[in-house]
A and B are shown apart, each in its own frame.
Chain A
């Protein structure tokens, strides 16, 4: 048994040493070049989009803020949404930052940072509404985007609150407008649509509750542990300084 344990321990140490070598190599290369290469699909406003000859958005500014904290400059590499993980796997960039929701099935090959935005569903009401939480939706009218995730969740809620009236509308904006027009008591939409709409409509508020969690996180290759550690460190710093919220508020405008 002891011999077996010794073999296991030796194997573990060898694997650890191999992993450390690769991890150091990646971070060392970044530190040596002074450049953090970031992959993204620039078709997802307000997180990333092309504007004339440049790319802009929350992920772009966040990448620059993180790189600045790390003493690096940024280089953006663009790829279609379907190929983003593949681009990272083959080393076309060091970090994937493109509104990516962590996928547990990919954790064998990739590691995810702490989340920096929740894009899940939120409940929106008028600022003067008595609704303060989901449980108070019984006997109310709820506007949703026809066919979207909010509609599916609202249908589930109807089992819990049979008196809940669900009003499917053509878009998330239409659902939010219905709340503003008082034809609905609340709307259940994704947080991005909500934030964009609310930036121009202070009469509406997000009920202080994330109905579903769809976190956006940065992605690195699984062996790049040092890079991940440093990214998490500066991400926390950027969040605590208020810079992250400042970036989000800047781009979440109509």
Chain B
């Protein structure tokens, strides 16, 4: 009897894992349809990688708009007016992240910014800027969900170049705060940093194109795998159903009939 109960308990515990299905890559990446990714020079590599893949597979992330500009800071992006020297540009005009989001009205926006501030030495201020974005974005696009990628790791070479030997530790601290801030204010945190690190806790040199902070193809590929993992997690948690039929708009006549 005891053995029977133990077997039943074991089956109950293992059944969900057995039933959990890994979705196809194409399905997972559809999570990022009708989305915008905002970033700086790190995201430039992502954009070019996507363009290169689309030479042979034009469906690859084709529902995702990538808007990035080198040197832009999280602070500048958090402002509701054009601030500082570097601005996002969309369709020929310099615009704030808010204006672009209002124009496109995406389902989701993903933000990877902070390297140019740099957030590691301004953690408390950076948290305020993140809160500003989460607070003000709904004024421009109330139905857009906000996601922050974790700040990506850097190499020891970057830390040395910047004269900040403990900068990677600071990034780690910032990411903890970033996650807390997202969770506290209804935004979402997407972890990509850990998968990019080597055993030493810095950016894996294989994933770096310049031995500092920018990504190689392999690095971008890891980033995209993390995005797929995140989409899978949302599916497993029942928070996203890629197979749900899209809701059809209700005609005004039908709405009145049921009233």
Q: Do A and B bind each other?
A: no
